[in-house]
Amino acid sequence: MTGAIWEPAPAARWEDAFLCGNGRHGAMVHGDPADERIIVNHHLLVRPNGSEHARAPHLAPDLERLRDDVLAGRAASAVARATAGRELLWVRPFHPAFALRVVRPTAGLAGYRREVDFRTGVVGSAWTEGAGTWRAETFVSRADDVIVHRLLPPEGATVSAALSHDVQLDAAPDDLDITLAVTGDLLRVDVAFPDAPGSGYTGWTRVVEAGGGAVETDGTTLRVSDAAELVLLTWVEPWAPSRTRTLHSPAARAGAWDELLARHSAAHRTAYDRVTLDLAVPDAVAAQPASELLAHPQRNRTAILERLFAAGRYHLLSSSGMLPPRLTGIWTGSWDTAWSGAFTCDANLNLQIASAAVAQLPEASLAHAAFVRANLADWRDNAARVFGARGIVAPAHSDGLSGGSYHFNDGYPLHLWTAGADWLLHPLLDHATVTGDEEFVRETLVPLLAEAAAFYEDFLTRADADGELLLVPSYSPENTPAGADSPISVNATMDIAAARHALRAAGNDALAERLPGYRVNEQGALAEWAWADAKDAYDHRHISHLYPVWPLDEINPFDTPELARAAHRALELRGAENDSAHGYLHTALVAARLGDAQRVERALTAVLDGDFFHPSLMSGHYPHRHVYNADAAHTLPAVIIEALIHSSPDRIVLLPAVPPSLLPSGTLRGLRTRCRVTVTELSWDLRAGHVRAVLNSDFDLTVNVHLGTDSDPIPLELPAGQNIAFDGVIPQHPPHDKGVVPCNEPLASSS
């Protein structure tokens, strides 16, 4: 049952719809037999709001004065100079296209069930009506790039239905210019934005199979009568900047259901099946509807985690293609999507794709690479205009079509965040390390890292009396030093880590050596700013200063045990602030790297018990499913993986931080490591104290295997292409001479 979820009733709200997608189109299926609503999404549908031509302003001439002011303690007034008179401008908001409605007369419905099969990507519903069982099915084809919907009556019955497009979804603007048309067997809708000439989109639904029934036009509606079955193809095309555009020919969109499904599932199933997790959930528990499992998290935690792992991989795969996932993946049912449904780059995007490389979803990694490449010109523009520098500076927000830095706000001065490019390149480094793709390294990664380093070579012009470089201005997203009047300060730990990583990756070790070291504060914690005047503010959802731990692995229990203890102390003191899902799971990722199983368990339990998940297993940003958001859904598989296994180019750590009550035993298959070893099987049983790993290396390799973060290395020879089994005894009472002491205090708040 881990490959599917089901519910006993149709979705009453768009947030509860079941999801499918191919990385370009997305569909939200309600499953109502009488009035089916399939909300159609496209990754590039963003509504003009005035930012479509925005670029970063020319602030470089004021940079030296800004630096002087920040160093003199006048950061607030310095930042205000840049924001004064500038309207806060968000990126263009992501929005739905329309709902395809299939309305038909019904009577005497019984035995209803809707489900989504993660292995095929098909959302289906079935019910008894009259003398037999009806079935409706929907998928988004990875091969043909269309949303395919079929309505199949029982043998001897026929389908009669009215088909229409409904653009007036939740919070739809009043001024949309909507044109509905029907030609033959084709529904068409054109939607234009009057305030932005040439902006809009066209959507079609074509009847490709009516099973001998009649297809008639009724105004803006298609009516199908007495068909043996009904197969519909739906697709959307955003317009080019002008109304002169090339649209796909509707005649090219054809094919029988079986043919379309076979072409799609060959690609989808192959990707989904690469990695599996089995937590030995009893069949009776696994067979329950997702809503029933979620309603009783205390007794179903392991079952929920198993299902969330499967759903998280499914949703990540389904929302990654032409772009990586947005804050809402590739789905929304509202024209007023929170935070514009943007790509939020200072935490959320990286968290969502954290599992992509090791969990064998290169579709997500390569979508992220496409996103980076498409925005490079704007990133270079940001570096030149804001900082007068070569290289690249990534913004904190993007609509997918623009990478300009134009989000200006005194409280969130994101335009002065310099670590973004290095942070956003790390998932690509992970992909290269896991796959060994030399062409990708040569053609994509090395040039990008060189540009990230070039920025810091120009930016790092200030130094203290001892010649140590100063990162100024410096910003730790999205926090403010305790008692300070501005978030802008000096030597944010994330900025130091990013600069050092970028410079070393580009071979500029001399400049990297002049960067400040990390600071351990008076509480023994890795400080968020390596600057004495910037005091730590602990009660915050972001933990940007732990970038050296996750994902950089620069600080870890093996190579830097003292700094690892300081990082753990920082994690121990951190509060949960507003209970954002991404805060909990970011904490769990760092805790896993540090070997703190109890804190991983605490963070996961907070998410499981906090009612974050819809019946679709898509998540909310806040507890009680408040604000539709993909952070928890997409990030959770990465947390489970990091708790079970961590790897570097010369090290594999088995069971570094397994939460004992949540993951007492199980089997994980198909994982890839950063030493190019496939984990054919990882089986563990904490109660029996046994772990078994079957490893297969791409090349002849001797790798150090660790059992937890406190163990000594065990060299293991892996001949290329051979399955080699490693059996170990799980330490019951590790000595903690390298790792960290498990947490024994609650999350703290800033004083």
- What number is the average pLDDT over the span 90-103? 97
Task: List the domain boundaries for the chain.
Answer: 4-47+95-263
Establish how many alpha carbons lie within 13 A of residue 619's alpha carbon, considering only the half-sphere containing its beta carbon: 30
C-alpha distances in angstroms, 694 versus 682, 701, 707, 729? 7, 14, 14, 15
8 Å CB contact between 558 and 709: yes
d(CA 64, CA 668) in angstroms, rounded, equals: 53
**Edge-to-edge strands of the sheet including 651-654?**
645-648, 651-654, 701-707, 714-718
Between 541 and 86, the more confident residue is 541
> Counting beta carbons within 10 angstroms of the beta carbon of residue 627, is it exposed (0 to 12), middle (13 to 18) or buried (19 or more)?
middle
DSSP 3-state of 114: strand
d(CA 192, CA 173) in angstroms, rounded, equals: 11
DSSP structural state of residue 378: H
Q: Which H helix or E strand runs over 668?
A: strand 665-669
d(CA 473, CA 62) in angstroms, rounded, equals: 12
- What confidence tier does 397 reach under pLDDT thresholds 50, 70, 90? very high
Sign of the dihedral through C-alpha 153, 157, 162, 163: positive
DSSP 3-state of 698: coil
Backbone angles phi, psi at 366, to 5 degrees: -75, -30
8 Å CB contact between 190 and 122: no
Percent of the chain with pLDDT over 70: 95
Establish how many alpha carbons lie within 13 A of residue 201's alpha carbon, considering only the half-sphere containing its beta carbon: 21
Tens digits of residue pLDDT in 631-677 = 999 999 999 999 999 999 999 999 999 999 999 999 999 999 999 99
Residue among 126, 142, 124, 119 nearest 311 (CA): 119
Tokens of 635: 């990030």
**HEC profile for 532-588?**
CCCCCCCCCCCCHHHCCCCCCCCCCCCCCHHHHHHHHHHHHHCCCCCCCHHHHHHHH
Say what the pLDDT of residue 743 is. Answer: 46
- pLDDT surpasses 70 at 344: yes
8 Å CB contact between 41 and 332: yes
CATH fold group of domain 4-47+95-263: Beta-galactosidase; Chain A, domain 5 (2.70.98)
The residue behind tokens 């949540």 is: 662
- What number is the average pLDDT over the span 281-285? 95
- What number is the average pLDDT over the span 182-190? 95
DSSP-derived pairing of the beta strands 701-707 and 651-654: parallel
Say what the pLDDT of residue 219 is. Answer: 85
Establish how many alpha carbons lie within 13 A of residue 565's alpha carbon, considering only the half-sphere containing its beta carbon: 10
Residue among 577, 563, 413 nearest 493 (CA): 563
- pLDDT surpasses 80 at 331: yes
Identity at 563, one-letter amino acid code: L
d(CA 289, CA 273) in angstroms, rounded, equals: 22
Say what the pLDDT of residue 246 is. Answer: 42
- String of DSSP letters for 708-744: STTSPPEEEEE-BT-EEEEEEEPPSS---SSS-PPP-
Say what the pLDDT of residue 256 is. Answer: 84
- What confidence tier does 254 reach under pLDDT thresholds 50, 70, 90? low
d(CA 639, CA 620) in angstroms, rounded, equals: 17
DSSP-derived pairing of the beta strands 132-140 and 147-152: antiparallel
Tokens of 668: 């994980």
d(CA 332, CA 327) in angstroms, rounded, equals: 10
Q: In b/e form, how buried is each residue of 494-528, taking b as 16+ CB within 10 angstroms?
A: bbbbbbbbbbbbbebeebbeebbebbbbeeebbbb
- What number is the average pLDDT over the span 22-39? 98
d(CA 478, CA 472) in angstroms, rounded, equals: 16
The overall average pLDDT reported for the chain is 93
Task: Residue 688: count other Cβ atoms within 10 Å of its Cβ.
Answer: 11
Say what the pLDDT of residue 289 is. Answer: 97
- Angle, nearest 10°, between helix axes 631-644 and 297-318? 110
Say what the pLDDT of residue 750 is. Answer: 43
d(CA 478, CA 462) in angstroms, rounded, equals: 24
- What number is the average pLDDT over the span 269-284? 97
Say what the pLDDT of residue 644 is. Answer: 98
Q: Which H helix or E strand runs over 648?
A: strand 645-648
Which range has the worst mean pLDDT, 64-78, 153-167, 247-261, 446-460? 247-261
Tokens of 368: 């992220």
Say what the pLDDT of residue 251 is. Answer: 42
d(CA 225, CA 215) in angstroms, rounded, equals: 7
Establish how many alpha carbons lie within 13 A of residue 92's alpha carbon, considering only the half-sphere containing its beta carbon: 23
Percent of the chain with pLDDT over 90: 89
Which range has the worst mean pLDDT, 107-116, 379-388, 590-599, 739-748? 739-748
Say what the pLDDT of residue 733 is. Answer: 57
Tens digits of residue pLDDT in 351-392 = 999 999 999 999 999 999 999 999 999 999 999 999 999 999
Say what the pLDDT of residue 74 is. Answer: 96
Q: Which H helix or E strand runs over 98?
A: strand 98-103
- What number is the average pLDDT over the span 712-736? 87
Is the bond leading into 473 cis (omega within 30 degrees of zero)?
Answer: yes
Say what the pLDDT of residue 711 is. Answer: 84
d(CA 319, CA 20) in angstroms, rounded, equals: 8
- What number is the average pLDDT over the span 560-564? 96
Is the bond leading into 478 cis (omega within 30 degrees of zero)?
Answer: yes
Say what the pLDDT of residue 407 is. Answer: 80
Say what the pLDDT of residue 21 is. Answer: 98
d(CA 18, CA 30) in angstroms, rounded, equals: 7
Say what the pLDDT of residue 734 is. Answer: 52
What's the whole-model pTM score?
0.95
Tens digits of residue pLDDT in 467-506 = 999 999 999 999 999 999 999 999 999 999 999 999 999 9
- pLDDT surpasses 90 at 732: no
